[in-house]
A and B are shown apart, each in its own frame.
Chain A
């Protein structure tokens, strides 16, 4: 039985325009409920939508970055359904004539290249937010809900992929690459935890080439959750197939706490959206000049930058992927390269120690206390053998915490305060081995020998050894003999 996992994704990205899609309310985040609303985004009687030009430009830009065709004439449709977070009980969206379609995105996953087809990228408006009031704060078991329409009307770009992904890992890699792409284009904050990037998936298992039952998975709120949910679902479906069980075409909800998917018990099975062209808006016909102007504004995209980092700087695929996965990080790296230090070394320090420090302190690279020049300084110190690699780790930590430059820290001897016991120990051993007479003298109790040996240790460590620690180590070593 040849099983193959087939995954397609539907991703929504909130665009970071200044105002909403169809009205002038600010696209704020986290303000008091309904503090950024107006008659239009509240769906008051008589109000009408007017399209945000920037949102259209951003969507076209995204389409171009995803190698899509720009539809010469596209229209808005109404998607009709009732829900308390819907101000009009219809969503202005796009249906069979989206703004862009038929693109692709190539990504590297675990050593091979996968080209993922992009079916379409279209634009629509976001809904409001429900807060469920009850014991658990979740929708099941709530007594009532509170509706906040601050989010209603924020522009959403919807990206639909072809079912070209073949594993949960590929799915994750794809969403990460898409996230990076959105970041590079500067059109979205794209934070899954904040909800500005949302992902649903369709997964099925084909058996010997025959299409399987498609299951939709919702509520995956992080990259980790995406991977877990799809892995779980993949396993669940395979198990069912292996045991001759029938799979239902349904929508399932990922329960992160329980680590499993459940069928979505929805009261509303009647999902007939009754799409029809939005009569309050006119068609969009982007002219060639506009499209070309936008194409000219495309920055170097993540995959391109990754390839360039490999060829231009000689970085490994893994390190290059790590750096280019976040635009600000890649920018940081390239600024650091300008200091003239070895790019491979710089990359190693950034991708390793620096990122670890940032993660631990929950600080974004944009506000890293150690700037690209500082990092260059550090790498230079190691290259010039002024400090060892091991010491440099400590210098970096100190620089990160204090905000002082590496050179300053090294010069101030601040390093000497950071006693590297392991290294010092090996220096002490060396010195004792090199100076057997003095060692013997000290064993005999001659205090001057200690001074001499200390001097040798200081010489060897260029004065950076912590004197107290060095002295203790010498005595300990000799005592232990």
Chain B
């Protein structure tokens, strides 16, 4: 399963990763290898087989609608690179 550089660029954009041309080519090669190896599963007949999205047979796990104290202000932004008046600051969006 060979993937193209365009595929790599598209995926990198979705994943918000900036890749150098070298990295793109390396990933292209490596991803192709892994996907080629993984192709083995496409040969398996899974018609009628359900997906396992949850390995446990648990259902209906809930919590009661009760509020409890939130984080103190200083702890909220304690690990932020850039904060102002309790809010997280980011460069312009558009």
Q: Which A residues fall within an 8 A CB radius of B?
A: 17-19, 24-27, 32-39, 42, 50-56, 73, 75, 82-84, 130-132, 134, 139-140, 142-149, 265, 267, 270, 272, 274, 276-277, 279, 281-286
Contacts and interface: CB of A to CB of B under 8 A. Distances in A.
B70 A18 contact: no
Contacts of B92: 132, 134, 142-145
A34 B65 contact: no
B10 to A, nearest CB: 7
A24 B63 CA distance: 9
Contacts of A130: 93
A17 B76 CA distance: 23
Given A53-B62, A272-B14, A26 B89 contact: no
A132 B93 CA distance: 9
B65 A17 contact: yes
Contact of A140 (B58, B61, B86, B94): B94
A283 B66 contact: no
B37 interface: no
A140 B92 CA distance: 9
Nearest to A84: B90
A147 B54 contact: no
Given A130-B93, A144-B92, A38 B62 contact: no
B85 A33 contact: yes
5 contacts: A50-B63, A51-B61, A53-B65, A144-B90, A284-B59
Contact of B65 (A39, A52, A132, A284): A52
A267 B85 CA distance: 28
B19 interface: no
A38 B94 contact: no
Q: Which of A38, A73, A265, A282 has the most CB of B within 10 A?
A: A282
Nearest to A155: B65
A282 B65 contact: no
A284 B94 CA distance: 38
Contact of B60 (A36, A276, A285): A285
A276 B66 CA distance: 29
B94 A267 contact: yes
Contact of A146 (B14, B62, B70, B87): B87
A276 B54 CA distance: 12
Interface of B: 10, 13-14, 16, 51, 53-54, 56, 58-68, 70-71, 73, 76-77, 84-94
Contact of B76 (A18, A34, A279): A34
B90 A55 contact: no
B94 A52 contact: no
A337 B94 CA distance: 56
Contacts of B14: 270, 272, 274
Contacts of B90: 84, 144-147
Given A34-B77, A140-B94, A52 B62 contact: yes
Contacts of A147: 87-90
A24 B10 CA distance: 38
B93 A75 contact: no
A146 B56 contact: no
Nearest to A25: B70
Given A282-B59, A282-B60, A34 B67 contact: no
Nearest to A51: B62
B70 A38 contact: yes
A34 B87 contact: yes
B54 A283 contact: yes
Contacts of B91: 144-145
A140 B93 CA distance: 8
Nearest to A285: B59
A149 B80 CA distance: 13
Given A139-B93, A142-B93, A53 B64 contact: yes
Given A37-B71, A272-B14, A75 B63 contact: no
Contacts of A284: 59-60
Contacts of A38: 70-71
Given A37-B76, A144-B89, 9 more contacts: A18-B67, A34-B86, A35-B86, A52-B65, A53-B65, A83-B93, A149-B88, A265-B94, A270-B10
B49 to A, nearest CB: 16
Contacts of B77: 34
A35 B63 contact: no
B66 A18 contact: yes
Contacts of A84: 88, 90, 93
B73 to A, nearest CB: 7
